[in-house]
Amino acid sequence: MGLIPGRSRTGAGKILSYFNAFYINSKGGEFKRSEAIRQLKKIRKFHDQAYNEHGDKRDTWIQDALATLVNMKVLSRRRPGLYEWNKAPGVEESRAFNYYFKKYHKYGNANTKPRKENTKPEQTKLNITPNSEGSSLKQLGSNKTTYKYDEPSVKILETFDNKDQEQIYLVSFIQTRDEFSSLCPVTGQPDQAKIEILYVPNKKMVESKSLKLYFFAFRNYGSFHENIINKITKDLWQLLTPKYLRIFGDFSPRGGIAIKPLVEKWAEPNLHLSTSVIQQIQRLVNSWDRKNAVL
């Protein structure tokens, strides 16, 4: 097994044994970094191998080892370039030395503590072209998200193309009670609601981040519960022109009374939905209601 610094436990263990020999020769006490470099370079075979394979012209393996021993409290750094032994670098420290030295030598930084490795996976960068799916979206993936809290508008909402228009399928969005809030237009008191959206897409589909921002815009918006649900219905209908749309608002009770508006709209006659398609949509909605016990 090779003796390359930081490449194996044997390599790091060898470095620790060289420092132990240096401790004995220097009889403890203070020493300069230049003295450590000069003494350790006498182990020519090891140093030549490290020099040739790492291009280690700055003797960074020695500097990193010094920083590691300081971190382990084996050495104290009195001032730049001057160190003092606290104890001999014994065999019992070999595992800790191996762990810390690999981090120091990996980053090539002998004067600071090892940095925490980034374990977050790197986000894949896609080649987005004008014809790519979602290329027209502005909010999704943006680092400059704009939040509005008192002006819900259909302009906040964004869409993407439905690539399966021949397929009849149901899309649902549920905004939990803790997330959706608005204001009473008279008292200014906050209202909270669980908002449920069901729709069967036609040509366009609503993008979820823009829908979230749209819901946020109700935060300081004053309106009665019924008007809020009707507004959401009108905005989404204008945006999507779907084959079917249902909006349900489950508002928190006030004065012991819970208001739960429900709006349902079917496609305009010009879409010419057949009887079989209408029946299929009804089965999907009924299946959803049974599964989720909404009403």
Which residue in the list 184, 235, 250, 289 is annotated as catalytic?
184
Q: What is the pTM of this model?
A: 0.55
pLDDT at site 37: 77
Which residue in the list 56, 59, 191, 235 is annotated as catalytic?
191
User: Where exactly are the structural domains of the chain?
Assistant: 9-107, 154-292
pLDDT at site 261: 97
Give 116-153 as a DSSP string.
PP--SPPPPPP---TTSTTTT-SSTT-SS----SS---
N-term to C-term CA, the chain: 70
* Residue 56 pLDDT > 60: no
Question: In CATH terms, are 9-107 and 154-292 the same topology?
Answer: no
The C-alpha atoms of residue 44 and residue 242 are separated, in whole angstroms, by 78
Q: φ and ψ at 179, to 5 degrees? A: -100, -35
72: alpha, beta or left? (left if phi > 0; alpha if psi -120 to 50): alpha
Weakest-pLDDT range from 39-53, 61-75, 218-232, 250-264: 39-53
Sign, CA torsion 153/155/160/164? positive
Instruction: Express each pLDDT in 20-29 by its tens digit.
Output: 777 777 777 8
pLDDT at site 36: 78
Among 1.10.10, 1.20.120, 1.20.1260, 1.25.40, name the CATH number for the domain at 9-107.
1.10.10
* Residue 160 pLDDT > 90: yes
pLDDT at site 240: 95
Domain 154-292 class, CATH top level: alpha beta
* Residue 172 pLDDT > 60: yes
Task: Tell me what the mean pLDDT of segment 108-136 comes to.
Answer: 54
Active site residue 191: yes
Task: Tell me what the mean pLDDT of segment 77-85 comes to.
Answer: 83
Which among 114, 98, 88, 7 is positioned nearest to 53, based on CA atoms? 7
pLDDT at site 7: 40
